[in-house]
Amino acid sequence: MAMHHLFIVIILFLGSSLAVKPGFQARITPTGLRFLSDVGVRKLKEEISKATIPDQSGSADVVIGTIRYSLTNIHVTRFHIPSASISTVTDVGLKVSTSGLSTSLHGDWRYKLDSIIPISDSGSFDVWISDVTLYVTIEIGVDATGRPTVYSSSHDCAFDAGSVDITLHGGASWLYNLFDSQIADAIQDILNDQVCKTVINEVNTDLAKEIANIQIVASITDKAEIDYSLVTSPIFDVTLTTSHKGEVYQKGKHTEAPYEIPTIPSDPDQSKMVIMWMTDYVANSAGYVLQNTGFFQYIVTQDKVPPSSKISLNTSEFAVEFLIPQLSKLYPDMMMQLNLNTTQPPSVSITPDKVGAAVTGDVAAYVIQPNNTLAYLFTLEATLKLSAKLGFKQSSLIWNSSYVSADLRLLRTAIKDFKIDKLRMKFQFACKMFIIPKINEMGATGVPVPSFDKYSLQNPELTQGKGFVKIGTDMVYDPLWETRAKSRRQQQKDV
């Protein structure tokens, strides 16, 4: 009956690593488990409506001989689950329980009576099964790759078919009335014997295969990806809590970022279906990767300066002459080029009051000579401090940065008596025009928060602590989820 579809929606929330602390942590509360139970029931109904049931055969001894019968073309005509629940089993995993389940089946029957005068006949039948109870416990762990594992044994499942009533149509009613109760008993015995075997087999095969294929890495840019693999086995108490790597890596090169992971404090909050904690280690590992892949390298030439700024990089224009008067004499009427480059990874610090960020890099200036070669002028060390506002866009954590402060220091120069005091003011403007927009370009796409097929975040709430951001959210069925996911993937490719 494809019972594994009742469980896959839970496991998709779970993300090897030797990290002691998680960079990302997630919790599913009892409210979230109830939501997932509803999701699982919906999927289960979809699967059972398409289920095929193997043909059955048997025999029954009656007063006039032995009746041999077969049941074929069996299919589900109705399926109802009035009650289903998902709960945690401490230190083990999840328990799925249903009660009051009922279903009706329709099919064809044929019998042959072995007696002095052989008799055979055929017709159709309807079966009504009610008061069904089922529970199965799924033991959940983690493998060497950081993916969850699932397992169930015969001791983890119980099934009771309740009552089974059968009505046979066609043929000699006086005869099959002698054995219809025996067929009903046989169906009940078959169900009680086979259902748990089927459920356990599907957990250990079909569900296990789907879990093995869960994507634990999500793309951020064409060169960076975030790893959501588990660092420990999930914790099962009243809630389900999972701890994830939460580190951004360069694609194809998973080198650990040289930062300490903040501690996520103990928090009993169960106010939302899902609660997630994302440390600033995630952002700092992203900065480390983006620095190493040249993401923050930028060349500024006149054609890249917005016309609305009315800034000219010509050495003979007033602004340049005012800031660096020697240039117009050394290189009259030539265009300049500025090479911006971070010299260390950007750093992020989260506190309850704010999200701060610092960027340090250098600005190398050149003039473009008539033969298109570059003549070196000077190199400045630049330090930029930002503050950021966090928010959500669809299923991604996004940010928008604003200027806090900036400073310049002269590192090298080919110009005598070079003064940088006047440049400091213009540097602030350059930060606002070039560096901050580049950082916000990534922030507009953001970091994807784990979600699953056709279900999106609803009314997410964000609070900040020391070294982490806490996200509480409910979930909602979203039939346009796949369309939105494709749009996000395209945005990531365009960054």
pLDDT digits 0-9 by tens, 231-272: 998 999 989 999 999 999 999 888 889 999 999 999 989 999
Q: What strands, in cross-sheet order, belong to the sheet with 235-236?
A: 235-236, 240-244, 24-28, 274-279, 468-477, 455-465
Residue written as tokens 């945005």? 491
The percentage of the chain sitting over the pLDDT mark of 70, rounded to a whole number, equals: 86
Mean local confidence (pLDDT), 174-202: 76
Q: Which residues contact 283 (CB under 8 A, 6 or more apart)?
A: 348, 447
Instruction: Name which of 309, 311, 368 is nearest 336 in CA terms.
Output: 368
- What is the pLDDT, as a whole number, of residue 18? 39
Going by DSSP bridges, is the β-strand pair 355-368/374-393 parallel, antiparallel, or unpaired? antiparallel
Between the alpha carbon of residue 258 and those of residues 231, 245, 265, 289, the distances in Å are: 18, 14, 22, 11
What single DSSP character describes residue 303?
A: G
Better-predicted residue by pLDDT, 335 or 16? 335
Which ranges of 324-369 does DSSP label H, i.e. alpha helix? 325-330
Going by DSSP bridges, is the β-strand pair 163-169/374-393 parallel, antiparallel, or unpaired? unpaired
- What is the pLDDT, as a whole number, of residue 17? 38
Distance of CA 268 to the CA centre of its chain: 23
Q: Are 263 and 277 in contact (CB under 8 A)?
A: no
Residue 290 pLDDT more than 60? yes
Residue written as tokens 């969850």? 148
Query: What CATH number does the domain located at 5-16+28-212 have?
Result: 3.15.10.10
Structure tokens belonging to residue 39: 């999701």
pLDDT tier for residue 441 given thresholds of 50, 70 and 90: confident
Give the model confidence (pLDDT) of 378-409 as tens digits.
999 999 899 988 888 777 888 888 889 989 99
Going by DSSP bridges, is the β-strand pair 247-250/224-227 parallel, antiparallel, or unpaired? antiparallel
Name the phi and psi angles at 308, rounded to 5.
-65, -20
Q: Which among 21-35, 71-85, 209-223 has the top mean pLDDT?
A: 21-35
CB-based burial label for 451 (10 Å; 0-12, 13-18, 19+): buried
pLDDT tier for residue 3 given thresholds of 50, 70 and 90: very low
Better-predicted residue by pLDDT, 83 or 241? 241
- Long-range CB pairs of 308-313, under 8 A, 24+ apart, other chains included: 309/429, 309/433, 311/429, 313/337, 313/338
Mean local confidence (pLDDT), 349-365: 91
Threshold 0.85, pTM exceeds:
no
- Distance, in Å, from the CA atom of 353 to the CA atom of 465, rounded to the nearest integer, reads 8
- What is the pLDDT, as a whole number, of residue 22? 92
What single DSSP character describes residue 206?
A: I
Instruction: Name which of 84, 105, 1, 108 is nearest 50 in CA terms.
Output: 1
- What is the pLDDT, as a whole number, of residue 445? 83
Residue 11 pLDDT more than 50? no
Better-predicted residue by pLDDT, 389 or 376? 376
- Distance, in Å, from the CA atom of 192 to the CA atom of 26, rounded to the nearest integer, reads 37
Residue 161 pLDDT more than 80? yes
Q: Which among 45-54, 156-165, 301-310, 482-491 has the top mean pLDDT?
A: 156-165
- What is the pLDDT, as a whole number, of residue 288? 93
pLDDT tier for residue 187 given thresholds of 50, 70 and 90: confident
Mean local confidence (pLDDT), 405-433: 86
What single DSSP character describes residue 465?
A: E
3-state secondary structure of 133: strand
Residue 152 pLDDT more than 60? yes
- What is the pLDDT, as a whole number, of residue 7? 47
- Sorted by where each begins, the domain ranges of the chain are 5-16+28-212, 257-494
272-276, 470-474, 485-489: the lowest-pLDDT one: 485-489
- What is the pLDDT, as a whole number, of residue 6? 44
- The CATH number, out of the four listed (1.20.1730.10, 3.15.20.10, 3.30.590.20, 1.25.40.80), of the domain defined by the range 257-494: 3.15.20.10
Mean local confidence (pLDDT), 113-134: 83
